[in-house]
């Protein structure tokens, strides 16, 4: 799920990139950021 750069960054933060909990948390943050982008992006048509 994570590329090598992301895996290294997660490990540097003390997180386990192979943990399902870590993957779920990252997915949640990505989803939340996508909502903000839709809300705040002037090119989104919203």
pLDDT value, residue 13: 96
pLDDT value, residue 24: 96
Distances (CA, A) of 17 to 1, 7, 11, 26, 28: 9, 6, 7, 10, 15
Per-residue model confidence as pLDDT tens for the chain (46 residues) = 789 999 999 999 999 999 999 999 999 999 999 998 888 877 765 5
Q: In the numeric block, which tokens belong to residue 19?
A: 């943990």
pLDDT value, residue 45: 59
- Identify whether 45 is part of a domain: no
- Reported as type and span, the H/E element at residue 12 is helix 4-12
- Identify whether 30 is part of a domain: yes
- Identify whether 46 is part of a domain: no
Q: Position of tokens 């943050």?
A: 29
Q: Which domain holds residue 12?
A: 4-40
pLDDT value, residue 16: 96
Number of domains in the chain: 1
């Amino acid at each position: 799920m994570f590329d090598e750069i992301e895996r290294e960054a997660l490990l540097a933060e003390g997180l386990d990139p192979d943990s399902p909990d870590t993957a779920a948390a990252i997915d949640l943050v990505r989803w939340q950021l996508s909502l903000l982008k839709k809300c705040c992006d002037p090119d989104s048509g919203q």
